Chain A
Amino acid sequence: MISVTELYALFMALSLSLMMILIFVTYMFMRKTMFVSIETVTGKAITVLKCPYCSYTIRRVFREGDHVGAVAQEKCPIHDANLIVSEIYTETPSSE
C-alpha cells in the first residue's frame, strides 16, 4: 500500500523529470542557433603551371607574387620553356 506522501513524491519526481527533458530538448534545439560561431575557413591555395606549347602541367603550393598569366621559374622538360601560371584555386570547398 502506497502512502499519500509517497505518491506525491512519485508524482513530483515524474513531473520534474519531464521538465528536465523539456529543458534539455530546448537546449539541444537552441544550441544550433546560439553557439554556431563565425569562422573563416581558408583552404590552401594551389598554383597550376602549364607549358605554353604542350599540355605539360604541374601543381605546387601558392607562392607570394603568383598570378594567372605570370611566368614561373619552372621549365617544361620537353620544350625548355618557362611554364605559365594557368590557374590558382583551393581544393577545400568554402564553408557549406
Chain B
Amino acid sequence: MLALHALMVSLQEATRQTSNYYLYNWLWWLFLIFAFFIFPLVFGDYYQLLRLSGTINRLLSDLGRVLNQSFTSVVNTIENIVRKNNIQNVTRKDIESKIKDLIEYVLIQPTELETQGIVNKLKHIITLYNKELEDAIRRLIPVDKHVIQNIVSSVEALRSLNLIYKIVMHYYRLGMKYRNFYILLQIYMVIPQIKEAVNAISGAINAFIKGQPIGDSAGPLTAFKFLREKCESVEPLSHSVEDTYIARCRYKGRIVYVIKALGPGSSTGRLDDAVTYLIEHCGVKPRAIITVDAALKLEGEKTGTITEGIGVAIGGIGVEKFNIETLATKYRIPIYAVLIKMSMPEALTLMTKDIAEATNKAVERVCKIIEQVAKEGEEVLFIGVGNTIGVAQ
C-alpha cells in the first residue's frame, strides 16, 4: 500500500516535471520491449541453438571419453592375454589397428523387397558375421575358444558404442552447419535413452572382458541350477550343433531335455538348431517346450519379478524365435515361457543379486510347469535362453 501511494504521489509530481521524466520513461519502456519481445523473437532460435549445442557438445565429449576408455580396456585385455600366453609378433599397435578395423566392420541386412525366405538369409549372414569376427580375433590371439568369444562380444559392444557416437556427431555437425536447431533438437530429445544405452554397453564391455555373468545370463543360469539341483542322472548328449549344450535328465520320472548355449564363453548358442536336432533327428516327442529368458521391464516394475506366459521367449533379431515357433506349430507342441524382468542396463551389466535370486524362483516355476504338463515317462524340452557368459554347465 505504501509503495502504491508513493507511486501515485510521485507520478502526480512527475507530471509537473518536464523533459527528464519523459526521456527516462521512454528509455525504460524501450528497454523492456526489447528485452521481452523483440529480443526473444529475433534471437530466440539462436539462443536455443547455443543452449542445445552446448548440451550436445558435452554429451559428445562424454561419449568420446567412454568410447576411449572402453577401447583402451579391450586393448589392454588382449595385450594381457598376449603376454600371458607368450604369443610372438603381436604388438600393441597391431592390436589397436585390428580392433579399429573390426569396429568399422559392417553387416548388410538382406533386402526386404522380397520377404520369401528372409529368415534363413538373415541366419546365414549373422552366422557368417560371427564366424568372421571370431576368426579375425583367433588370427590375432590363438587361445581358448571361450576367451575369444568374450573378446568378440566386447568388440561388438565397442562397435555399437562407436555407432552411437558417430550418429550423434553427424546430427550435431549437420545442425551446426546449417544453424538449424531443430536438427539438434532431435538428438536432445533422445539424450536420456542415449545415456542409458551407453551406460549399459560400457558396463557390458566391463563384464565381457572379465568373463562375468550379465543380467541376460539369467536364462542359462536357471538351466544350470535346474540341472544341478533338481535333476537326476544328467547325461550330456553329443551332437553337431555348434556352441550349444544339450543334456538329458530325469525330473520326478519325466525326461527333460535341457538346452542352453555352451559356456562359459560369451555365446547365445544355436537354440533353434538344437530343437530341430532333437525333434527331427532324435525323434523326441515333447509334451511342451519351456523357455526361460530375461525380459525388459517397464520403469516402475520391480527387478527380478517372474511372469509366466505362452509363446517363445527369445529376444534378438528373431531368427531363432521364428524357427522354434515354426517347429512347434508343425508338431502342435505347446510352448510356455517364464520371464525374469529387468531393465536394459541390468540386462547388459554384471548380474545383480535380485536377478541371481530370481533364477531360484524361475527354477521352481519351471518344475511346476513340467509337473503340470507332462506325466511320468513323458518328454519335455527346457531352453535356457540368453547369453551364457560366465555360466558353464
Q: Point out residues on A near B: beta carbons under 8 Å.
A: 1-5, 7-8, 11-12, 15, 30, 33-43, 45, 48, 52, 62, 64-70, 84, 86-95
Q: Is A91 a contact partner of B206 (Cβ separation < 8 A)? A: no
- How far apart sit A69 and B212, CA to CA, in the bound complex (Å)? 12
Chain A residue contacts of B211, Cβ below 8 A: 64-67
Complex Cα distance, B221 from A48, in Å, reads 13
Chain A residues in 8 Å Cβ range of B20: 4
Judged by a CB distance under 8 angstroms, whether B17 is at the interface is yes
21 contacts between A and B (CB under 8 A): A2-B10, A4-B10, A4-B13, A8-B28, A30-B51, A34-B55, A38-B63, A48-B356, A52-B228, A62-B212, A64-B211, A66-B390, A67-B392, A68-B213, A86-B228, A88-B356, A89-B352, A89-B356, A91-B353, A92-B352, A94-B199
If A7-B6, A38-B195 are given as contacts, then 19 extra A-B residue pairs at C-beta distance below 8 Å, sorted by A number, are: A2-B6, A4-B14, A5-B24, A7-B7, A12-B28, A38-B59, A45-B210, A52-B228, A64-B211, A67-B390, A68-B392, A70-B392, A89-B356, A90-B350, A90-B351, A90-B353, A93-B352, A94-B343, A95-B199
- Cα of A39 to Cα of B264 in the assembled complex, Å: 28
CB contact under 8 A between A68 and B66, given known A4-B21, A40-B202: no
A44 to B131, CA, bound (A): 33
Q: Is the CB of B203 within 8 A of A42?
A: yes
CA–CA, A57 to B55, complex, Å?
49
* CB–CB B66/A88 < 8 A: no
- Tell whether A67 pairs with B10 under 8 Å between CB atoms, given A34-B54, A95-B345: no
B140 within 8 Å of A by Cβ? no
In this assembly, does B354 line the interface, its C-beta being within 8 Å of a C-beta of chain A? yes
Q: Contact residue range for chain B?
A: 35 or more
Q: How far is the CB of B338 from chain A (nearest CB, A)?
A: 18
B180 contacts A by Cβ under 8 Å: no
Contacts A33-B55, A33-B191, A42-B206: A89 and B63 contacting too (C-beta < 8 A)? no
Q: Is the interface of A mostly helix, strand, loop or mixed?
A: loop
Contact B346 A40 (CB under 8 A): no
Quick check: A45 and B7 within 8 Å, CB to CB? no
Given the known A-B contacts A4-B21, A38-B198, A69-B264, are A88 and B351 also in contact in the complex, defined by CB atoms under 8 Å? yes
B9 at the interface (CB under 8 A from A): yes
Within 8 A of A (CB), among B338-373: 343, 345-346, 349-356
Contacts of B276 in A (CB 8 A): none
Interface residues of B (CB under 8 A from A): 6-7, 9-10, 13-14, 17, 20-21, 24, 28, 32, 51, 54-55, 58-59, 62-63, 65-66, 191, 195, 198-199, 202-203, 206, 210-213, 221, 224-225, 228, 263-264, 303, 343, 345-346, 349-356, 390-393
- Pair A64/B346 contact, Cβ less than 8 Å: no
Q: Return the chain A residue nearest B345 by Cβ.
A: A94
Known: A40-B199, A69-B224, A88-B351. A34 touches B58 (CB 8 A): yes
Closest 6 CB pairs of A and B: A69-B392, A67-B264, A89-B356, A68-B391, A38-B62, A40-B202
Q: In the complex the two chains form, is B191's CB within 8 Å of A89's CB?
A: no
Contacts of A84 in B (CB 8 A): 228
* A43 and B392 contact, Cβ closer than 8 Å, known pairs A7-B7, A38-B62, A38-B63: no
Chain A residues within 8 Å of B28, by CB: 8, 11-12
